[in-house]
Amino acid sequence: MERWHERDTLISTSPQMASWSPDTPCSCDCFVSVPPASAIPAVIFAKNSDRPREEVQEVVFVPAGTHVPGSRLQCTYIEVEQVSKTHAVILSRPSWLWGAEMGANDHGVCIGNEAVWTKEPVGTGEALLGMDLLRLALERGSSAQEALHVITGLLERYGQGGSCREDPMPFCYHNTFLLADRTEAWVLETAGRLWAAQRIQEGARNISNQLSIGTDISAEHPELRPHARAQGWWDGQGAFDFAQTFSLTQQPVRMEAAKARFWAGQELLQQRQGGITAEAMMGILRSKESGICMDSGGFRTTASMVSVLPQDPTQPCVHFLTATPDPSRSVFKPFIFGVGAAQVPQVLSPTFGAQDPVRSLPRFQTQVDRRHALYRGHQVALGLMESEQDRGQQLRQKQRDLEQEGLEAVRGLLAREWAPPPQELGGLFQAFVEKESRAYA
């Protein structure tokens, strides 16, 4: 039985036990700007999803739904109890799993997650992936804080665990989350079933594959401090610093790299304080020098997202998604929830039913081609950019022009200079995906 008490906390059971590989690649970066850091009266959210180089990320639209009481919901590995109503969501996700790396719902909630390793061992058993928790929170939470409660409640009941990559060699981790809505943001950081959260009501914040919540804790698991004290990680005296207490004493190389990206991201945000826009966030996500735009051996940025969440509830939230790798050579395309919103087939990967390697036991013994149509076209374009200078420059210019067209349309919409019918707004993402596809044809 779940029980919330005074500081939005939840009763705990013992964490799962497991091991992890210090050499496993891991990287992602999430950013948020809350007024007055934003240039406009809006919360601006952004994420780069850094994943195995060949992994395909698709963009999936799921409409709002009503469900039979007591029904079960199949996530990536396990089933959970379904709720009676779920929100419409737009998800950017590795195409082999159920959850998502980042996404938004029709209530203006955005979430991104990141891998993290702490002193708490990682679970070996299959449970909910952090990406499953992210999607469940979007489907069930109508505010950032409500979505946070969804995650911590499910974490308590089902735990987090299972391999997070499509490979017979398990790759497991715990998760941190950045959650945002029209008015505020929350950072949620976990260690097994334990967690701490920080509320962001103004300014800019970023997270990068490491614990970052210090003593400024807005909510926490009730067993967090008692557990730390029982383990000898905290003496119970003085201020309790979550990151200092639960971070690994000896950080692996990848975690040190994440620390460098965290500070670089923080500086990029600070340089733009008071003037942060969607374009500014896109620029940060494209920063190769900082490592935020990842391209390192078997790892790269496989998809990116930027969202504008106006504080005025009469204005629509706008979510820009690439659906393709390397944001420095991709197009951020606008999606808006509305009457005409539907799945765009060009960014949906093929399915393989019961024969899918994620469904067949033992898992991930074979490989399948999950590339969607836009991904294939983008691959050809990337090849031309690298091998044919003139043709490559022409394609890159087409990408820039198309993205600028989308940004101008959104500016006009938020300035109330453009008022298209709802059907056209809902079909905006489809229109831009088709234009990009034609540019690559």
Is 60 exceeded by the pLDDT of residue 24? no
Average pLDDT of the chain is: 92
Whether 299 is in a domain gets the answer: yes
Q: Tell me the per-residue pLDDT of 289-329, one tens digit each, with 9 for 90 and over.
A: 999 999 887 899 999 999 999 999 999 999 999 999 999 99
pLDDT given at position 250: 80
Q: Tell me the per-residue pLDDT of 242-289, one tens digit each, with 9 for 90 and over.
A: 999 999 988 767 677 788 999 999 999 999 999 999 999 999 999 999
pLDDT given at position 258: 86
Strand partners, 220: 196
Is 60 exceeded by the pLDDT of residue 12? no
What is the rounded CA–CA span in Å between residue 225 and residue 195? 10
The rounded radius of gyration (Å) of the Cα atoms in the chain is 21
The whole-model pTM stands at 0.93
Q: Tell me the per-residue pLDDT of 29-58, one tens digit each, with 9 for 90 and over.
A: 999 999 999 999 999 999 999 999 999 999
pLDDT given at position 11: 28
pLDDT band at 431 (very low <50, low <70, confident <90, very high): very high
Token pair for 414: 């938020």
Is 90 exceeded by the pLDDT of residue 394? yes
pLDDT given at position 46: 98
What is the rounded CA–CA span in Å between residue 134 and residue 7? 22
Is 50 exceeded by the pLDDT of residue 418? yes
* Element housing 219 (H / E): strand 219-220
Question: What does the angle CA 252 – CA 254 – CA 256 come to, to the nearest 5 degrees?
Answer: 75
319: helix, coil or strand? strand
Is 70 exceeded by the pLDDT of residue 1? no
Q: Tokens 């051996």 belong to which residue?
A: 297
Whether 421 is in a domain gets the answer: no
* Element housing 405 (H / E): helix 389-414
What is the rounded CA–CA span in Å between residue 50 and residue 44? 20
Whether 383 is in a domain gets the answer: no
| CATH code for position 270 | 3.60.60.10
Q: Catalytic: which of 26, 28, 30, 110?
A: 28
Domain that holds residue 258: 29-350
Please give the share of the chain, as a percent, with pLDDT higher than 90. Answer: 88
Is 60 exceeded by the pLDDT of residue 2? no
What is the rounded CA–CA span in Å between residue 5 and residue 281? 37
Phi, psi of 185 (to 5 degrees): -135, 160
Token pair for 323: 């659906």
439: helix, coil or strand? helix
Q: Tell me the per-residue pLDDT of 129-181, one tens digit each, with 9 for 90 and over.
A: 999 999 999 999 999 999 999 999 999 999 999 999 999 998 899 999 999 99
Is 80 exceeded by the pLDDT of residue 402? yes
Catalytic: 164?
Answer: no
Handedness of CA 325, 327, 332, 337 (dihedral sign): positive
Whether 157 is in a domain gets the answer: yes
By C-alpha distance, which of 252, 310, 238, 314 is closest to 278?
A: 310
16-21: average pLDDT? 33
Count: domains in the chain: 1
Whether 116 is in a domain gets the answer: yes
225-238: average pLDDT? 96
Is 80 exceeded by the pLDDT of residue 217? yes
Q: Tell me the per-residue pLDDT of 84-126, one tens digit each, with 9 for 90 and over.
A: 999 999 999 999 999 999 999 999 999 999 999 999 999 779 9
Whether 41 is in a domain gets the answer: yes
Is 90 exceeded by the pLDDT of residue 21? no
Is 70 exceeded by the pLDDT of residue 382? yes
What is the rounded CA–CA span in Å between residue 156 and residue 148? 12
365-380: average pLDDT? 97
Is 90 exceeded by the pLDDT of residue 25? no
